[in-house]
Amino acid sequence: MNLYKNKKFIPKCLSEKNLDIFRDRYEKIKKSGLWKNNIDNNSLEKESLETFPKLVENKEDIQVVGRIIKTHNFKDIVFAIIQQEVDLIELKISQKVCSNIFQLWKMHIKVGDIIVATGTAKWSKHGKPQIELKKFNILNICGLINLSRRDAKTDNKPIYKDFIANPKKIEEFKLRSIVLKTIRKTLDDYGFEEQITPILTNSFYGGRSHPFITHSRHENQELYLRVTSEIAMKYLLVGGFSRVYEIGNSFRNETQDRNHLSTFTALEAYAPYTSFENMLIIAEKIINCIYSATRYYKKNQDHFEKIKVPDSGIARISVKEILLDVLDADITTEKGINKIASISKKKYPNTKYEKCSLISFVLTKFIYPILKEPTFIINLPNNGSPFIAPNEKNPSLLQRALLIINGLFLMEVFFSQRNPFLLLESLENQFYELPQKNIHRDYRDFIESIFCGMPPTSVIAMGIERLFMIITNKKDIRKVHMKV
């Protein structure tokens, strides 16, 4: 019976036959009286599981709601696992105890259905919480045949199926919420205020990055998805805001790999009238607070301890020192640059931007993997980075630090360039050095704001997904990213 003419609305995994079976099952459940439109507020809360021993001792009834994710069917008994967020609770349906409920269950319940169940709290043979079922109602039914199916083209499983197949994933996303709350609280305690800046911009900012481009029918022009909120945040500082931060999505129209996403979540925090050194202390505090808030989720895994900041603070090591120690190459000399170019199988850099790219490659390839404990790499060479101020005592170096934890570049801390003439010079040089000259980059509005006068400002930028790679010990950033 084909009731649906437009095939675009029918999931590819559902045939017309499956739709008919699903519709017939739905109608039979309605007629059986098992269907329930609403539930009361007596569903199982966390404290119910915490007091489960008392419920067993008093032989009390308990009510749970959730999805059936597994069943074991025997002749006169059924064991089922109901998932309630991250909790997995066993249901026991016995023909001897309640023949009518047993028959209704066998007739109507399938894996994937969402139910509300009431029964007596007991311990299973394995000492796990168990509910001997006395009554149940169906809140919704599952019409999908295979909940573990992956997309054939991308090999990606939709997030809802991922959660159903592996409830531990829910725990990871709950942990993500805890971490974000911790970051916000830490920054709030330091006097920062959270702001939300535009994602669509009239001009594209982002150095060597490629933008996502869309078209505005209202404005009849191209718009760009932001790579960073830096310029918008600095507008706030010029306008008179004090410390500000944002945790939001940014976008790069580039190839994804195990360490990079085209859509990612970034923390950007801006503190005017705060020195580079003090911003490093705030960065340490953020990492320490994250460790304190989440350590109990991974207390038995040694890798998680790597995020802990030592009492003496995060170690700091200069680029020159670590490359000299690991590769025996002094990057302040032509011989040293030539050596790391040879090791990297790259040509000798002719410009400071090429030198920057070479050093960045060498750090990523040879240095990051050996840094397991939290480490700040400091004293990076001044490559003309437009928005980063040079060291006043040594202009050949930048006031910039890269935080590496467990082999991953996690965070950048730097002091902003506020001299409009040096900024103009760096942007001009960058424009002619970059190969993507055709991409629309227009900094005139921003330069105008800098000429108005921007306060001396320190910045923290951190990738949230990379942070979760460290916390959950994942080797691929795509494993901690929500797919829809």
pLDDT tens digits along 114-167: 999 999 999 988 888 899 999 999 999 887 766 654 444 445 566 777 777 677
Beta bridge partners of 91: 80, 131
Q: What percent of the chain has pLDDT over 90?
A: 47
Residue 356 scores a pLDDT above 90? no
Residue 250 scores a pLDDT above 70? yes
Residue 277 confidence (pLDDT): 96
Mean pLDDT across the chain: 85
Label residue 44 by pLDDT band (50, 70, 90): very low
Instruction: Give the residue-averaged pLDDT of 198-204.
Output: 87
Residue 54 confidence (pLDDT): 87
Residue 1 scores a pLDDT above 80? no
Residue 193 confidence (pLDDT): 97
Q: Which fold has domain 12-147?
A: OB fold (Dihydrolipoamide Acetyltransferase, E2P) (2.40.50)
The full DSSP string for 209-277 is PPPPEEEETTTTEEEEE-S-SHHHHHHHHHHT--SEEEEEEEE--S--BTTB-SEEEEEEEEEET--HH
Q: The tokens of 17 are what?
A: 């036959």
**pLDDT tens digit string along 265-317?**
999 999 999 999 999 999 999 999 998 888 766 544 555 666 778 778 899 99
Is the domain spanning 165-314+374-480 CATH 3.30.930.10? The answer is yes
Residue 353 scores a pLDDT above 70? yes
Residue 28 confidence (pLDDT): 92
**pLDDT tens digit string along 69-103?**
889 999 899 999 998 776 788 999 999 889 999 99
The full DSSP string for 336-384 is HHHHHHHHHT-PPP-SHHHHHHHHHHHIIIIIGGG--S-EEEE--B---
Label residue 41 by pLDDT band (50, 70, 90): low
- In the chain, where the domains are located: 12-147, 165-314+374-480
Residue 436 scores a pLDDT above 60? no
Residue 483 confidence (pLDDT): 67
Q: Which of 308, 293, 272, 306 is nearest to 185 (CA)?
A: 293
Long-range (24+ apart) CB contacts under 8 A made by 347-355 are 351/433, 352/381, 352/382, 352/383, 352/384, 353/383, 353/384, 353/429, 353/430, 353/433, 353/434, 355/381, 355/383
Residue 175 confidence (pLDDT): 86
Lowest-pLDDT choice from 57-61, 99-103, 454-458:
57-61
Question: Phi then psi for 27, rounded to 5 degrees?
Answer: -65, -40
Question: Phi then psi for 30, rounded to 5 degrees?
Answer: -60, -45
